Chain A
Amino acid sequence: MKTRLPEHGPLETPRFWRTLEERIETPEAQQAAHDEFLPGAIPPSFNMGPDYNDVHGLPPQSGVSRRDFLGLVSAAAALAATVACDRKGQGTVVPYTKRPVEVIPGVANYYASAHQEGRRVYPVLVKTREGRPIHLTGNDEHPGVKGKTSPRTMADVLRLYDPDRLRAPKASGRVVSWAEAEGHLHAALTGAKAAGKPVLLISGAVASPSRKALLADLKTALPTLEHLAYEPAAGDAVEVAALASFGQAVDLQPRLAKAKVILSLGADFLNGEDPEALGAWGAKRRLKSAQESINRLWVLEGPLTLTGTNADERVPVSPSRLGAMAFALAKELAGKGVALPAGTDLSGVSTGAPAEIPQATWASLVKDLKAAGRQAVVLCGAQMPAEVHQAAHLLNAMLGSEAVAAIPAEPLATVKELETAVQGMAAGRFAAVLFWDVNPAYTFPQAAAWKDAVAKVPVRAWIGQVEDETAAQCQLLLPENHWLESWGDFSTPSAAVLQQPTIGTLYDTRQGEDVLLDVLKALGAAVPDGYHAYLQARWKKELPFGTSFEQALHDGLVKGEAKASAPSFKGASVAAAAKRAAASRAEGLELVLFPGFATHDGRHANNSWLQETPDPISKMTWDNPVAVSVQDAKALGIEEGDLVNLSLDGITLKLPAVIQPGQAQGVLALALGYGRTTGGVAKGMGVNAFPLVGLEPASTHVRSGARLAKAGGKKTLSRTQSHHRMEGRDLVRSLTMDEFAHDPQGHHHRPELVTLYEEQRFPDHKWGMVIDLAACVGCSACMVACQSENNVATVGPEQVARGREMHWIRIDRYYEGELENPKVVHQPMLCQHCDNAPCENVCPVNATNHSAEGLNQMAYNRCVGTRYCANNCPYKVRRFNFLEYTAFKTEPETLVYNPEVTVRPRGIMEKCSFCVQRINDGKIRAKGEGRAILDGEITTACMAGCPSDAIVFGDLKDPKSKVSQLVAATRAYRVLEELGVKPAITYLADLKNPALEGGHHEA
């Protein structure tokens, strides 16, 4: 029955009413009757805005009404039914028109190339599939890196497919052709040349001989060119100190293979940046027996670094006191008969142990260094003040250390020179400025002054990949190739390294060198056509006899570069430095600014793989909170996640605080490279700490006089590990050398396991893994390698805060001992592939089960997402796709996927597969060649990526395999063995070699 309503005129007054408004029929009441859900019925906090606030742990509301939702569901069901009933085509299959000879579809090709970050050069092997680079490892033929590389380098393949990349040149905001864009640039530069006006070029560090030659050519053609090579995170003190100590710029590279005793003065050489150092470290730590020699690492530092967590003896001290301590050490050693370099004057240095260091520790350190002699090395952190560097140079010269190589390098511009350039720009000195792969608008400490100065340069050009803060201040934007699309060469101490493109340019981009070559041409110089030809012409002359350029490209390197003579130490520089060191005192809190583990100086901030890789110490993702020491936090009443105001020199940053055990009292630590204002991923993540960088080159990154105050409020920290304790279980084991020699299993006993289940049988193979905690430094290279190999999704900070990160392998970091200076052990944790896997027998659909080769396998298409398995996993390594992280992705983002691994959708459980795609491939290859699988032939991505070779994977059925032998080692144990789940992963207990008690005394 329907009630007919009058078409015109007012409705009849209702007979029953609930409210007065309804009775008197206000317009609001009529509207309210119409809208079931009033505005405001859904709390505004559900908008997922910056102030997004979780309510009852509910997922965020999408704003779709119930009616719309049901409508969509029925439409989707109808559509699905229609599609299912269609006799659909199977799609097309498109062959090459002209197949490149080296490409077999479905088979990966590998090319040698190289990546540069600051002064560091990473020779890499690029895995490509059907012409797409998808995975990076180190070049195994390079004698230094031996097949290893850094986490940031591995993740940089993602930057190639960054959708934010600038795809065509722009002039004044308008997309233009290259001819037009370069026309503007050439006109400006020829004009400047004619007028004799200076032109400023700012680039990153120059580590390439051909790029250096090209810049020299440019300087010849354009004499008014002023070039600054600026690395904002490198630490200007390194330059200042090298100039004082050696009279030239040097790159000090540790040679840890030769070191018995290492003293780190705030040096973080184990942070994953230096695969060569990590390789040597691992080799010295993977001990089979206590009779083998081990090195000893002494660390004096303010913030807790990865190197500090691996120390045998660590003393937290304020960085401003490090210089005085190091000079006192030099004086002590000199007093014990170690010869000082000529001209060294230590008369101003006080004798005896500094107040911060216990007497016994000091005596032991002095004894250790003296005993090790040439096999001792002192390394200084790049951020430390110049006098600390100079003290380290002195100590190495005194000891005659073999374990550090001083390699002459191209000088870097300091912040002082940049400041001079800013004054020049402001005064209208420059006719044009060209930024090449640098972002000073973001990294220069005084951003406002920078902006005003740059605006006074008539022509501003920018060469780069993703439009950044600097690009926003330029008229002429020239999009640059990614390094995987470019030619190049670099010099490393053991070999010259070549870089070749592994993919054609994705967009209308060119490499920076090509742009400069065109500039040279426009200026009338005779140059080869394109940088490839330029490079080839140079190398044809330089290659050793019998080596072709093609062969060198194939290998990616030319071994045996001539050694430059090591610069000699100038003793006369010491007295002034010692005086400065003695006077150095921290007023207020001391702030240490260090390059972000993930972002470095901000250049990697747009890389979601890196943003989501937790900081190895604080386990923070997507953010840079200020780290406060336990003592200071207590004094200031600061709790984890509290918002604080950090003030220094009139600049105040509001940011969250974390409490960092092991950090020296009075020290604050803050990562650079966050708080970008451009880039789809980078924008708004963390705060920009560059404004706090000092303008005094001798100490840009260690600043005293900082103040910290609670700002009120809290921020939810996107942390992957907030629980730091083991609850009395021996998840990680750490032995001193004494314990290793006498009682490696300690009070731990192998539990007697009783089981109701039948013993699993493995007829052919039983895959297993051994992880040596003594070699693992926690650098997280394995995490990035796994992410790249297995198409692991990133989820963003909100989801990480809910514990929904997707990493198949994580590094658990455990503290032990007192809060002020704890011992730390890092433990890579991944699916243990248990023989009696608890996850398997709770799966209602048998989506996870055991293979006959000992793999705990996961069939995604069978999984219905009950998450019972994750609940029942004692290791918490199963990852559930709570939301859709992948389906919306389009090219170019999808191009980075490994085609051998399923891209998982929403509602699916996933976890480490032991890289089953690599196992299958290895088995099939061996079978095809009619042979058994060789030990070490099949590697998991984490094993291949681990720079210290802490991870060994192999067949436990093969008694000769490396993994089988390691399983029987005396340090071996299994995590939560008492549960009887029989994990396939064996850990080897961590080793510490303390000097005072329990160490290896002959070291």
Chain B
Amino acid sequence: MGLCMHLFDRAFRFVLPAGGVAVLLTVLAVGWFTQPDRFAKGYAPEQPIPFSHELHAGTLRMQCQYCHSGVDKSRVAGIPSVDLCMGCHKVTRTDRPAIQKLTQMANSGQPLLWQRVHTLPDHVYFDHRPHVNAGITCQSCHGEVQTMKVLTREMGMRMGNCLACHRDPHAALPAGSKITRGAENCAACHR
């Protein structure tokens, strides 16, 4: 009898609280690990060419579409080809080591391996065209790119991000837009 009481006592005083704490810690840990934006936000990998969006899009006020010209024609906005950079940099800032590296790539045809900053989860077929054509600015998803010296990810780009805007797109749309909702059916993005 005494032994039995002792076992109960130990269960109540030690095993149960410890178990509870363990479960709580697991839930918190899993939650923290899997939170949508944990890896996404603030992701700013080092790039092979230290290209500054702040300079090009901010100070020089170049249009996003000058380089990302596919954005209103294709599903993907596209990364500019090296020869597009060389359009200006044949004569501009040719003293910089990065530009010399770029020139060498353009001449040799060696591929320029940019580190991808923005990605979507698997099984998603996002299309830039309807978003840009509806007047949604690039910054709505990509952040204030024109202020970024190093391109940094601002949004998790999870399904929650998509649906939040598709259900209430007013904030992203220009004033006077007639659009009230975005598509919410699976096949709009998954196929």
Shortest CB distance B162–A (Å)? 14
Q: Which residues 728-783 of A have a CB within 8 angstroms of B?
A: none
Cβ contact within 8 Å between A97 and B73: no
* CB < 8 Å neighbour of A95 from B82, B130, B133: B82
Q: Using Cβ atoms and an 8 Å threshold, which residues of chain B touch A927?
A: 130, 133
- At the interface, yes or no: B101 with Cβ under 8 Å from chain A? no
Q: Contact at B127–A99, with CB atoms within 8 Å?
A: no
Does the CB pair A97–B78 fall under 8 Å?
no
Report chain B residues within 8 Å CB of A95: 78-82, 112, 114
Q: Are B112 and A920 in contact (CB under 8 A)?
A: no
Q: Mark A300-313, 1 if CB is under 8 A from B, else 0.
A: 00000000000000
**Which residue on chain A has the smallest CB distance to residue B117?**
A90
Please, which residue of chain B has its CB at the minimum distance from the CB of A99? B81
Assess the B188–A920 pair: CB atoms within 8 A. yes
Mark out the residues of chain B between 120 and 134 whose CB falls within 8 Å of any chain A CB in the assembled complex. 122-123, 125, 127, 129-130, 133
Q: Decide if B92 is an interface residue (CB 8 Å cutoff).
A: no
Chain B residues near A84: list those with CB within 8 A. Answer: 33
Binds B, one of A525-533, A551-559, A660-668, A852-860: A852-860
Given contacts A95-B82, A97-B83, contact A924 B129 (CB under 8 A): yes
Partner of B115, one of A92, A851, A917: A92
At the interface, yes or no: B65 with Cβ under 8 Å from chain A? no
Could you tell me which residues of chain A, from 220 to 247, have a CB within 8 Å of some CB in chain B?
A: none
Across-interface contacts of B78 in A (CB, < 8 A): 95, 104-106
Q: In the complex, are the beta carbons of A860 and B84 less than 8 A apart?
A: no
User: Residue B13 at the A interface, CB < 8 A?
Assistant: no
B contact patch SS = loop
Question: What separation, in Å, do the CA atoms of A860 and B110 have in the docked complex?
Answer: 37
Q: Is the CB of B109 within 8 A of A97?
A: yes
Question: Can you list, as one digit per residue, whether each of A851-872 has a CB less than 8 Å from chain B (1) or not (0)?
Answer: 1110101111110000000000
**B136–chain A nearest beta-carbon distance, Å:** 13
Asked whether any CB of chain B lies closer than 8 Å to the CB of A87, the reply is yes
In the complex, the answer to whether A90 meets B123 with C-beta atoms within 8 Å is: no
Please name all residues of chain A whose beta carbon is closer than 8 Å to the beta carbon of B109 when the two chains form the complex.
97-98
Please give me the residue from chain B that is nearest to A848 by CB atom: B186
Interface string of B151-164 (1 = CB under 8 A from A): 00000000000000
Counting CB contacts under 8 A, is B113 at the interface?
Answer: yes
Q: For the complex, what is the distance from the CA of A196 to the CA of B189, rounded to whole Å?
A: 69
Residue of B whose beta carbon sits closest to that of A914: B187
| Residues of chain A from 74 to 96 with CB closer than 8 A to chain B in the complex | 84-85, 87-96
The answer to whether A913 has its CB under 8 Å from any CB of chain B is: yes
**Does A107 interact with chain B (Cβ within 8 Å)?**
yes
Which residues from chain B contact A106 at a C-beta distance below 8 Å?
70, 74-76, 78
Q: Binary interface profile of A, 674-714, with partner B (CB < 8 Å = 1, else 0)?
A: 00000000000000000000000000000000000000000
Out of A85, A93, A104, A855, which one reaches B187, CB within 8 Å? Answer: A855
Interface bin, chain B: 35 or more
B139 to chain A, nearest CB (A): 20
A853 touches B185 (CB 8 A): yes
A900 to B127, CA, bound (A): 11
Answer yes or no: A901 CB below 8 A from chain B CBs: yes
> Which B residues are in CB contact (< 8 Å) with A900?
75, 125, 191
CB distance from A130 to the nearest CB of B (A): 10
The yes or no answer to A372 lying at the interface (CB within 8 A) is no
Q: With A97-B105, A860-B190, A900-B191 given, is the CB distance from A852 to B114 under 8 Å?
A: no
In contact, A902 and B191 (Cβ under 8 angstroms): yes
Contact assessment for A94 and B188 in the assembled complex, using a CB-CB cutoff below 8 Å:
no
Does any Cβ of A come within 8 Å of B45's Cβ? Answer: yes
Q: Is the CB of B45 within 8 A of A89?
A: yes
Taking the closest CB of chain B, its distance from the CB of A53, in whole angstroms, is 39
Does A29 touch B at the CB level, under 8 Å?
A: no
Chain B residues within an 8 Å CB radius of A857: 185-187, 190
Contacts of B81 in A (CB 8 A): 95-99
Q: Give B172-191 as 1s and 0s: 1 = Cβ < 8 Å from A's Cβ atoms.
A: 00000000000001111011
**Chain B residue contacts of A853, Cβ below 8 A:** 185
| CA of A859 to CA of B117, assembled, Å | 26
- Asked if residues A104 and B114 are in contact (CB atoms below 8 Å), the reply is no
Residues from chain A with Cβ under 8 Å of B75 in the complex:
106, 900
A96 CA / B118 CA spacing, docked (Å): 19
In the complex, A97 Cα to B101 Cα: how many Å? 13
A916 within 8 A of B: yes
**Closest chain A residue to B79, Cβ basis:** A95
Sample of 9 A–B contacts (CB below 8 Å): A85-B33, A89-B116, A93-B115, A96-B83, A98-B109, A106-B78, A861-B122, A861-B190, A900-B75
Extra 9 A-B pairs, beta carbons < 8 Å, given A97-B111, A104-B70, A106-B74: A90-B115, A90-B116, A94-B79, A95-B82, A97-B83, A99-B81, A851-B187, A902-B123, A920-B187
